[in-house]
Amino acid sequence: MTTRPTIRSVNGLVATDNHLATAAGIAVLREGGSAVDAAVAAAAVCTVTQPHRTGIGGDLFALVYDARTREVQAYNGSGAAPRSLERDSFPDGYPSGGPRVATVPGALAAFSDLIDDHGRLGLERALAPAIQYAEEGFPVSDGLAEGFVDSGARLDEECARVFGPRGRFPRSGEILQQTDLAQTLREVVAHGVAAFYGGDLGARFADAVAALGGHIALDDLGAHSTDRPEPIAVPYRGLRVFGQPPVSQGHVLLEELAIAEGLDPKEYAWGSADLVHQMVEIKKMAFADRDAYSGDPRQVRFDVERLFDGPFVSARRRAIPAKASERTEAGALAALATDTTYMAIVDRDGNAVSLIESVFSEFGAACMVPDTGIMLNDRLTGFSLDAASPNALAPGKRPIHTLNTVMALEGVTPRLVFGTPGRHAQVQTNFQLAVALIDHGMEVQRAIEEPRWYHESGRALKIENRFSEQTRTRLAAKGHEIALVGDWAEVTGGAQAIAIDENGVFSGGADPRREGNAAGY
């Protein structure tokens, strides 16, 4: 049983974290736009309607399957640390918000590059719904209203001015307008993204950031570009599962699947203590390896493919403990010779997009750049301040990102497009989705709605109340310290997924844990 039906269509399907974004994507597909046109339109709407989760002051990652070339391309739209910053710039640790914890925004450049590479209708059409909602306003969703309640106290004066023209933050159903943001998006349409990355708009942005005490300079904006790295992939049950390469932590999911590939998750009942225990311990290993080795490959020697090597994976598989581990050490490599929104989109021509965008924490840095409508991210806090870490803060370096997206192909044909927001929950929930969809053959909506677990550290294991009493008891007997987190816990993410069958029928699902919405035509 699920709370909503699986959505099926043959012409196109859009699954996002917001119904207005889904509607914008469907409208673009109906006009003959590609999956990328629809994805950028939907993502841009989310930057307006979900400022607590994303914004053009944040970052974007995507996997794009091009039906013409039958290849998957990765996009890394994340920004670097300002070049004026060093690790010792924060002797007392990071502040809880403000302009100093922002990296260079990468979302706008990624929007433009995606459209240039795979779009049909142009950036102006893609941004039109977002501009309309920013200018004319939109009804505040329950989730955004809750975000204002939870985080309103940390938002700066400019946020209060823009979000609270009534003298308070808006409640569910009240109209919110963001005219400064609308004007910023219009400038991008009129003059291209170069207006922000080195042009007049960027100069005004950088001057305003400096006046606030931040470090992003015009030169930092001018130096930014979207990376198009080769995606990483592992074989799994006859499919090839693609993920985001570093600086994304997408390799964590792929290492989890590589370890699980030599096991048989079907031998355990779904939701059983044995299956949950096995997956949690695999997760711990992959996260330990991330912490030990992962960093910006532009500045750190990190060959991610070594985490998928047969001998390394076999050793990790043999090390899965029978009881819950308190601390998991990184595997020995052979010597060298928060808040987010996710969407999945497919079109009638066979193109597919798996896209995620974020400002990191709820409302990012809780700081809006005056007269631009741009909320700053707080992604700089993703750096380690430990000089020995491969993820240590350095000028012009990008932090390791929780953001990652997933796509699975059978041969050269897409079969699954899925992902979730949720910081460190992402690669855990995606692991659960992959096993549910691939090993246990679930329909997408059921796989999304099944009870989830979430692990942070040690033996503590958060699980949703809907796990059976038997599973809870047996997990405790294996040494896990169980903490119940409600029936539908947002800490486990808010997934969207699309499956494509052999007849070309799309099946889409969206997560009731947030405000997910899937639609097709």
DSSP output for 347-408 = ETTS-EEEEEEEEESTTTTS-EETTTTEEPP-GGGGSB--TTSTTB--TTPPPPBS---EEE
CB-based contact 350:72 (threshold 8 Å): no
CB-based contact 3:516 (threshold 8 Å): no
CB-based contact 37:25 (threshold 8 Å): no
- Choosing from 16, 103, 328, 340, the catalytic residue is 340
Q: How many angstroms separate the Cα of 518 from the Cα of each of 4, 436, 488?
A: 10, 19, 18
> In angstroms, rounded to a whole number, what is the distance separating the alpha carbons of residues 51 and 49?
6
3-state SS track over 128-185: HHHHHHHHHCEECCHHHHHHHHHHHHHCCHHHHHHHCCCCCCCCCCCEECCHHHHHHH
Closest CA to 468 of 248, 270, 246: 270
> In angstroms, rounded to a whole number, what is the distance separating the alpha carbons of residues 208 and 158?
12
Q: Which residues pair with 239 in a beta bridge?
A: 236
> In angstroms, rounded to a whole number, what is the distance separating the alpha carbons of residues 85 and 62?
28
> In angstroms, rounded to a whole number, what is the distance separating the alpha carbons of residues 516 and 343?
9
Specify the pairing of strand 481-484 against strand 460-463.
parallel
Q: Which residues contact 24 (CB under 8 A, 6 or more apart)?
A: 38, 41, 42, 44, 45, 129, 130
> In angstroms, rounded to a whole number, what is the distance separating the alpha carbons of residues 309 and 298?
22
Closest CA to 357 of 420, 265, 283, 309: 420
- ∠ CA 405-74-126, rounded to 5°: 85
340 included as an active-site residue: yes
Closest CA to 198 of 190, 206, 209: 206
> In angstroms, rounded to a whole number, what is the distance separating the alpha carbons of residues 144 and 151?
10
Q: Specify the residue for token string 């889904």.
A: 22
Specify the pairing of strand 232-236 against strand 239-243.
antiparallel
Closest CA to 415 of 404, 407, 423: 407
Listing from the earlier edge strand, what are the strands of the sheet with 71-77?
71-77, 59-66, 352-360, 339-347, 12-16, 517-520
CB-based contact 501:437 (threshold 8 Å): no
For residue 437, the 8-state DSSP code is I
Q: Which residues are catalytic?
A: 340
